[in-house]
């Protein structure tokens, strides 16, 4: 399995669009504080670290608090719109299931990114389009 930080010297100076999603917007009271049950920072922090390790800059963190069953999500829609505008060179996500609701949606997004010259990295699945082997897998 490929370590997502293994190719840290590749693509210096790239701009990264980081996407995170948690499945619920429910809150629980802890004393006087009402806090979200899931925290997107759990995904965001290691993704920001990965971006920094590779010498990239974070263009923007796109975030959703929504079920993955919803194909249309504000953060994801903004990421895709910015991709069309060329706002970043690489998309970094925690896991496939945080990004896409189905294999079909994932494949379509990967095809769009490829056509736009945007690389894609999934931290947990170790999919890294900078790596020849995983790039070929993404092409399937």
Which has the higher per-residue pLDDT, 136 or 122? 122
Query: Where is average pLDDT lowest: 11-15, 60-64, 81-85?
Result: 11-15
Whole-number Å distance between alpha carbons of 137 and 130 = 12
The single residue of 8, 9, 23, 129 carrying the catalytic annotation is 23
Residue ranges and CATH numbers for the domains of the chain are 15-139 (3.40.50.1390)
User: What mean pLDDT, rounded, does the chain reach?
Assistant: 78
DSSP 10-31: TTTT-EEEEEEEES---EEEET
CB distance 100 to 109 below 8 Å: yes
CB distance 58 to 115 below 8 Å: no
23 an active-site residue? yes
């Amino acid at each position: 399995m490929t370590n997502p930080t293994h190719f840290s010297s590749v693509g210096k100076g790239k701009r990264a669009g980081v996407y995170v999603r948690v499945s619920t917007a429910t809150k629980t009271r802890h004393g006087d504080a009402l806090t979200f049950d899931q925290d997107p920072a759990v995904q965001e922090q290691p993704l920001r670290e990965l971006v920094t390790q590779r010498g990239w800059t974070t263009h923007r963190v796109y975030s959703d608090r929504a079920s993955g069953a919803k194909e249309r999500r504000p953060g994801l829609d903004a990421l895709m719109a910015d991709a069309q505008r060329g706002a970043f060179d690489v998309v970094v996500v925690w896991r496939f299931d945080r990004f896409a609701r189905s294999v079909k949606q994932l494949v379509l997004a990967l095809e769009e990114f490829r056509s736009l010259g945007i690389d894609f990295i999934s931290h947990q699945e170790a999919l890294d389009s900078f790596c020849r082997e995983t790039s070929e897998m993404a092409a399937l």
